[in-house]
Amino acid sequence: MNLFSYTDLSKLDKSQKDQLVELHKKSLPDTPFSMLDVIMCTKIYDFVASSRGFFNSVAVFNGQPIGLCVGKTSHSTKKVVFSKKIYLSYIKEVIVRRKIFFYRDFIQLMILIFIKNQKSKQFWIELIFVDESFKNLKIGSSLLSQYINIVPHTREIWVDTKKTNTGAACFYLKHNFKEIEIPLLDSYLFVRKGSYESFAN
């Protein structure tokens, strides 16, 4: 019996959303979560669940959420950048406490946000993550394919990931994304056409 299933954020109860936030935290090991970030993350889940401008799919195993994919589907929808919002709130928290933070990281963030604003009319993958215990079971591929299959084949899909995350880079290259070189940017930026045909086609 196949115990894996897929649902959306609107179908999750509070306990399941809390479990999803914990997975989200683990997917961003370089970005400490404050209590404010946890609350904000839950609110963003609720916003995405109620918005027609976003696609979302939750992978579930025995009633427990083990993965999530969120992607933009409407040109008019305001961009929600999960990890960047969380990182900005962390920087604000550091400034308030007068601790040292790396200005280079902040500059990198501003470059990435500028690029996203320039490409705001394109389709963007906001995030995709899977519980480490369920890696290599093609769950991430299934979540990604669900999003790709709703994007018109003539449109572009964009995604970014840190260069230290080589696993994610290989994942997107395997799914026909093409790397775009951006000077001074410490993140990988990938693009591909919608539908499952090669970018070159």
Q: pLDDT digit string (tens) for 48-64?
A: 898 888 899 999 999 99
> What per-residue confidence (pLDDT) applies to 154?
75
Alpha carbon distance 183, 173 (integer Å): 20
Q: In the predicted model, is pLDDT for residue 200 greater than 80?
A: no
Q: Which residue has the tokens 């970005």?
A: 31
- pLDDT (tens digit, 9 = 90+) per residue, 144-187? 999 999 888 778 898 988 888 889 999 999 999 999 887 767 77
Domains by residue range for the chain, with CATH: 4-193 (3.40.630.30)
- pLDDT (tens digit, 9 = 90+) per residue, 24-42? 888 877 666 777 677 778 8
Q: Which residues contact 182 (CB under 8 A, 6 or more apart)?
A: 111, 115, 189
> What per-residue confidence (pLDDT) applies to 16?
95
Taking all residues of the chain, what is their mean pLDDT, rounded to a whole number?
Answer: 79
